[in-house]
A = this chain, B = another copy of it.
Amino acid sequence: MCQLLGMNCNVPTDVMFSFTGLATRAEEHKDGFGIAFFEGRGLRHFVDHHSARVSPLAGFIRHYPIQSDNVIAHIRKATQGQVLLENTHPFVRELWGRYWVFAHNGNLKDFHPPLHAAFRPVGDTDSERAFCWLMQELAKAHCSVPSIEELSLTLAELMPRLNAYGTFNMLLSNGQALWAHGSTRLHYLLRQHPFGRVQLQDEDLSLDLSQHTSPLDRAAIIATEPLTRDEPWVAFQPGELKVFVGGALAG
């Protein structure tokens, strides 16, 4: 199984602490990693098919304080598709003049949907096929740019159709909202005032959030497994789709 990490904030925030927690888990998920940061409509997208434990790129990102309001990261343990750069999550496509970023944890068996529209996979993973199919179905469902609420309704219809093929824990963002679907293993945490000291689950590293935040800051963190101790992580129910906007649950 791969590991997912998502962050959605009301104020652009760096993700160095959480990414360090995620990268710690890269030992057993050594088939690459990737992370995408939205800055407004713009996107920074980093992928490497080497382990986040040894990749110079991961080392650089751990110390590069990119301020972003929507982040999606992934460390990979290949189930389908070779260990190649084109198979490394997150994947990116453009739709309606917005970049869309997608990462998947799970395994879709015999999922070969008809991809007759403008979105084709570059690599050979079930995950990228699922993303291309999602983009195709979103484009078919809405002739112009829908609201976040409308997108959430359409996605809620599409998720079970993918989940039927196996496990489908996923993160999706267009820079305005972050959608998370739990199939078997996904957790989220809403961080807000008052902020205290938090400690990484897997590493002897802690951070006093009150030193890095203002009282109005809000952040939602979504991860395969809780990344920190002593914070109220909530498990997704199987089949649950949640949408995060401005660091809070929407809808």
Which residues of A46-67 have CB atoms within 8 Å of chain B's CB atoms? Answer: 46-49, 56-57, 60, 64
Asked if A86 contacts B122 (CB within 8 A), the reply is: no
A64 CA / B56 CA spacing, docked (Å): 8
Tally of A interface residues using CB under 8 Å: 36
Known contacts A47-B44, A84-B40: does B119 contact A94 (CB below 8 Å)? yes
Which residues of A100-129 have CB atoms within 8 Å of chain B's CB atoms? Answer: 117-123
Residue in B closest to A88 when the chains form the complex, CB atoms:
B42
Q: Could you say how many copies of this chain the assembly holds?
A: 2
Which B residues are CB-close (under 8 A) to A119?
Answer: 94, 118
A217 to chain B, nearest CB (A): 22
Which B residues are CB-close (under 8 A) to A123?
Answer: 41-42
A184 to chain B, nearest CB (A): 28
Which B residues are CB-close (under 8 A) to A47?
Answer: 42, 44
A240 at the interface (CB under 8 A from B): no
A49 CA / B86 CA spacing, docked (Å): 25
A84 CA / B84 CA spacing, docked (Å): 31
Asked if B122 contacts A98 (CB within 8 A), the reply is: yes
Q: Mark A72-113, 1 if CB is under 8 A from B, else 0.
A: 000000000000111110001111111100000000000000
Asked if B42 contacts A84 (CB within 8 A), the reply is: yes
A243 at the interface (CB under 8 A from B): no
A177 at the interface (CB under 8 A from B): no
Known contacts A96-B120, A120-B96: does B42 contact A49 (CB below 8 Å)? yes
A43 at the interface (CB under 8 A from B): yes
Asked if B121 contacts A97 (CB within 8 A), the reply is: yes
Asked if A117 contacts B120 (CB within 8 A), the reply is: no
A242 at the interface (CB under 8 A from B): no
A39 at the interface (CB under 8 A from B): yes
Asked if A44 contacts B93 (CB within 8 A), the reply is: no
Which A residues form the contact surface with B (CB < 8 A)? 39-49, 56-57, 60, 64, 84-88, 92-99, 117-123, 139
11 pairs, CB–CB < 8 Å, chain A vs chain B:
A40-B85, A41-B123, A42-B49, A44-B47, A46-B46, A56-B60, A57-B60, A92-B92, A95-B120, A98-B122, A118-B139
